[in-house]
Amino acid sequence: MNLAIETDALHSTSTATDTLSYAITDCELGMVLVARSTKGVCAILVGDNAEELTADLADRFPQSTLIASEAAVKGDVMKVLRYIAEPSAGLHLTLDLRGTPFQRRVWEKLKTIAVGRTVSYAELGKSICPLTNPRAVASACAANPIALAIPCHRVVRMDGELAGYRWGIERKRELIRKEAMA
């Protein structure tokens, strides 16, 4: 059974002036914000405060009109919540992936890391290009706006220790722990 994160479709867009629908709900990791454009999910943000999550979304998509709409993202939210509760269920979403060409290459490679596995920043970089600097990979991971669906939490230091995670090291630890049991 392939337990890697899969997406039903992947769109890459440079459209910065569009409308994004989003919803915020409680989850086992605190709170989660899921946002989507007409092309797919463009953000999954995790945190402890709805106002901070909304501000983060606005900062990431400054040219977009943001509309709070539980109905517009209900299906996506349910899939994310199910994945958080049961990583073995997988996470099948259509994504609207926005980033530089290098970031998108890193994010695509992240999606190939199976649930329950981790890789180092250096290993991930070498799998993209032998000369890729691990710090560049770490920067691309830090810029990832789609937590869980682009599993940057599966990247660790070369010695196997946990390194920074945009949404908190404790969340990273919990995600890795739950996925290891999947």
Which positions are catalytic? Answer: 152
Lookup: tokens for 31: 């709170």
Sign of CA dihedral 114, 115, 117, 122: positive
DSSP string across 84-108: HH-GGG--EEEEEE-S-HHHHHHHH
Q: How far apart are CA 129 and CA 24, in angstroms?
A: 37
- Please report, as a single letter, which amino acid is at residue 167: W
Nearest to 50 by CA among 75, 20, 26, 76: 26
Task: Say which residues have a Cβ less than 8 Å from residue 101's Cβ, sequence separation at least 6.
Answer: none
Check: CB of residue 25 under 8 Å from CB of residue 32.
yes
Q: Which two tokens stand for residue 155?
A: 């990247």
Tokens of 59: 């900062």
